């Protein structure tokens, strides 16, 4: 949670490796995800500086994809990955990194927000460090009040021992299915470490809640003098609401404060106007901005997402933090993570992450000061009104999330989308459409379990499909993972990267590899269309510049300094140069063809002697 008296960190800073280190493996979990933010996370994991509206360059993105493929997994709730606003074919490569957990969201959701990252020293791969972050922030552009906790491993045994971390690492590793990351090894490695925690904070336990995992709402000390609960979402009815249980924390003199959103407080109050008895204060903060949740008007184009740099200071849109504080004069216990004040969040139905901590007086005072900024809740005499079309769509999406799996049978120029069954929408009146990523929408035939999509070349295939539901004037859409048969391979990856790189960018990439630099100052933003505008599928203007080619001196210097850097550049030249020449010839770009042929002659002459 951001507050003037609290230290604040950008999420990209938390992922970025320390100087002299690089990412070996990373597992990120989220409820909802935005593909553009996934790109940002990958760039941060390779060490890119992304503050002050810098989005990262094309060269940096290609290097990140190649460096992290097979090393990073991002796990999200099924049907909660947003469809990008712009058609960017390079995003098809994110199927190398994404996985989903399919649950019936009417009963259960994958809801933990975690980053588990292992780094190693660049000059000594046996020297490792782990970083763990957990909290309430999704991998989306939403600017909300969020809260989190960061731990960094220490190998000198001078840090804190934290119960549950080894089990958490083993469970995430099992789910991530990264070939080189073994669950038993991760458990053993994490169990042997101690942890650097935030100043004044003692982390007692970290638990991954969920089906066949831990469960149970915390029991605070009976002598609690102050209780603070921050939760944007509450149980839908008062009958079995956790709010009633929290109202009993402490004794008759305990001062209890509940902070939530007006809509959830109103809905709970409508089921029982006495539900907040026992709280000295019930306050509201604005409803959070939530990607891939709710619906939009079908007749309107979805507005472009505001892409704000991590370092830019903008006011948060709404409340998204989840925390529970019970304090007295000598002890301040805080539960922080992803679980809302709902039965479903704590009884093992949802997957959630929660840390049990003891915090210092300053941190507790800052939380209580934050609580004072809320506006007192005033129930409305007008009952809540639910849009029926929106309810229909959301009910249908939840039914599909746990019971409708898709796969793709890919032929030469077409693919069959094969479903596990006809869409199980329970008789709801909805229109269901699918499309390849960035493609044209196609209506799913009534009662069918397969559908043909034409015009998709094997080199452009992706495990990522678009799905859209509509009812009346409302609609929602998401990315669904539908594995291809045969699966995308390195040839597909190279083909998409070759489409993404123009000759100018390719030569900058080779120069950055030779110089062992992140990028080149003349490289364009990864989503730039070549005219200074980010967000389209165009390439930078084809302006062949012979001075962009690596010089003989640069090639020889790279070989003499680090033969691995030269070999890496030589491998990329062999993998991509032919495709780039062919594409330039097909597009009648004679100057680009000449530039690439000149580069080929120079490179082959030197490389044949240096290999």
- Domain CATH for 40: 3.30.870
Asked if the structure places residue 167 within a domain, the reply is yes
Q: Are residues 591 and 516 in the same domain?
A: yes
Backbone φ/ψ region at 210: left (φ over 0), alpha (ψ -120 to 50), beta: left
* CATH number of the domain to which 262 belongs: 3.30.870.10
With 0-12 CB in 10 A as exposed, 13-18 as middle and 19+ as buried, what is 168?
buried
pLDDT for residue 539: 44
The pTM for the full model equals 0.92
Q: Are residues 55 and 153 in the same domain?
A: yes
Identify the segments of the chain with pLDDT beneath 50: 1-7, 301-314, 531-532, 534-544
Number of domains making up the chain: 4
Helix then strand count (H, E) for the chain reads: 15, 26
Asked if the structure places residue 211 within a domain, the reply is no
Q: Residue 261 and residue 269: Cα distance in Å, rounded?
A: 12
DSSP class of residue 194 equals: E
Asked if the structure places residue 208 within a domain, the reply is no
Q: Are residues 600 and 516 in the same domain?
A: yes
Instruction: Count CA atoms within 13 Å of residue 484 on its CB side.
Output: 25
Q: Are residues 366 and 505 in the same domain?
A: no
Domain boundary among 355, 376, 397: 376
Q: Residue 540 and residue 531: Cα distance in Å, rounded?
A: 7
Q: Are residues 458 and 528 in the same domain?
A: no
Q: Are 119 and 91 in contact (CB under 8 A)?
A: no
Asked if the structure places residue 370 within a domain, the reply is yes
* CATH number of the domain to which 476 belongs: 2.60.40
Which strand (E) or helix (H) includes residue 231? none
DSSP class of residue 160 equals: B
Question: Considering only CA atoms, which of 33, 143, 145 is closest in space to residue 97?
Answer: 33
Q: Are residues 554 and 468 in the same domain?
A: no
Q: Are residues 31 and 142 in the same domain?
A: yes
* Beta strand ranges found along 91-216 (DSSP E): 98-101, 113-121, 124-135, 148-154, 194-196, 202-209
Strand order in 414-419's β-sheet? 450-454, 414-419, 406-410, 484-485
Asked if the structure places residue 444 within a domain, the reply is yes
Q: Are residues 120 and 182 in the same domain?
A: yes
Asked if the structure places residue 193 within a domain, the reply is yes
Q: Are residues 408 and 552 in the same domain?
A: no
Question: Considering only CA atoms, which of 6, 101, 75, 80 is closest in space to residue 370?
Answer: 6
Q: Which residues pair with 117 in a beta bridge?
A: 26, 131
Q: Which residues pair with 230 in a beta bridge?
A: 259, 323
Q: Are residues 135 and 264 in the same domain?
A: no
Q: Are residues 48 and 176 in the same domain?
A: yes
Domain boundary among 485, 517, 532: 485
Asked if the structure places residue 313 within a domain, the reply is no
Q: Are residues 506 and 577 in the same domain?
A: yes
Domain boundary among 485, 510, 544: 485
pLDDT for residue 385: 79
Range of the domain at 432: 388-485
H helix runs in 562-589, sequence order: 563-586
| 487-534 pLDDT, tens digit each | 999 989 988 998 898 888 899 889 888 887 766 666 788 988 654 454
Asked if the structure places residue 219 within a domain, the reply is no
């Amino acid at each position: 949670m951001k507050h003037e008296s609290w230290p604040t960190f950008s999420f990209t800073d938390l992922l970025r490796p320390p100087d002299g280190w690089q990412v070996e493996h990373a597992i990120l979990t989220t409820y909802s995800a935005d593909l553009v933010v996934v790109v940002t996370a990958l760039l941060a994991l390779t060490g890119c500086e992304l503050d002050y509206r810098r989005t990262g360059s094309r060269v940096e993105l290609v290097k990140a994809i190649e460096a992290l493929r097979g090393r990073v997994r991002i796990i999200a709730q099924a049907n909660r990955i947003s469809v990008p606003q712009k058609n960017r074919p390079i995003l098809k490569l994110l199927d190398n990194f994404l996985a989903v957990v399919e649950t019936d969201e009417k009963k259960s959701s994958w809801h933990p927000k975690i980053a588990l990252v292992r780094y190693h020293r660049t000059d000594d791969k046996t020297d490792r460090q782990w970083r763990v972050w957990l909290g309430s922030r999704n991998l989306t552009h939403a600017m909300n009040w969020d809260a989190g906790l960061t731990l960094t491993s220490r190998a000198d045994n001078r840090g804190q021992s934290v119960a549950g971390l080894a089990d958490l690492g083993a469970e995430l590793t099992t789910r991530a299915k990264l070939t080189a990351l073994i669950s038993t090894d991760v458990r053993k490695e994490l169990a042997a470490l101690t942890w650097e925690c935030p100043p004044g904070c003692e982390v007692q336990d970290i638990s991954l809640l969920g089906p066949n995992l831990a469960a149970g709402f915390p029991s605070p000390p009976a002598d609690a003098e102050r209780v603070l609960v921050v939760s944007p979402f509450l149980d839908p009815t008062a009958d079995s609401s956790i709010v009633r249980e929290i109202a009993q924390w402490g004794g008759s003199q305990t001062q209890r404060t509940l902070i939530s959103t007006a809509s959830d407080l109103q809905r709970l109050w409508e089921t029982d106007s006495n539900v907040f008895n026992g709280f000295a204060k019930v306050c509201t903060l604005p409803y959070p901005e939530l990607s891939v949740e709710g619906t939009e008007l079908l007749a309107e184009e979805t507005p472009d997402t505001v892409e704000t740099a991590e370092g830019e200071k903008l006011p948060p849109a709404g409340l998204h933090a989840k925390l529970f504080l019970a304090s007295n004069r000598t002890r301040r216990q805080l539960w922080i993570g992803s679980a809302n004040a709902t039965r479903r969040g704590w009884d093992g139905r949802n997957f959630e992450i929660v840390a049990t901590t003891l915090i210092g007086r300053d941190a507790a005072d800052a939380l209580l000061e934050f609580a004072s900024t809320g506006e007192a809740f005033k129930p409305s005499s007008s009952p809540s009104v639910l849009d029926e079309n929106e309810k229909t769509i959301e009910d249908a999406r939840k039914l599909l999330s746990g019971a409708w799996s898709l796969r793709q049978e890919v032929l030469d120029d077409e693919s069959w989308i094969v479903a596990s069954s006809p869409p199980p929408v329970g008789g709801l009146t909805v229109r269901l459409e699918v499309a390849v990523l960035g493609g044209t929408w196609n209506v799913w035939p009534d009662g069918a379990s397969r559908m043909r999509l034409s015009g998709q070349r094997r080199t452009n295939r992706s495990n990522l499909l678009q799905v859209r539901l509509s009812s009346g004037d409302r609609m929602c859409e998401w990315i669904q993972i539908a594995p291809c048969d045969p699966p995308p391979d390195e040839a597909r990856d190279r083909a998409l990267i070759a489409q993404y790189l123009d000759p100018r960018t390719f030569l900058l990439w080779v120069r950055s590899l030779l110089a062992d630099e992140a990028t080149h100052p003349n490289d364009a933003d990864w989503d730039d269309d070549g005219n200074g505008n980010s967000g389209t599928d165009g390439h930078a203007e084809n302006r062949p510049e012979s001075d962009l080619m690596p010089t003989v001196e640069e090639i020889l210097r790279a070989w003499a300094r680090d033969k691995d850097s030269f070999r890496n550049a030589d491998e990329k030249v062999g993998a991509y140069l032919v495709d780039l020449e062919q594409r330039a010839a097909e597009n009648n770009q004679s100057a680009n063809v000449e530039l690439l042929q000149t580069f080929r002659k120079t490179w082959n002459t030197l490389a044949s002697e240096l290999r």
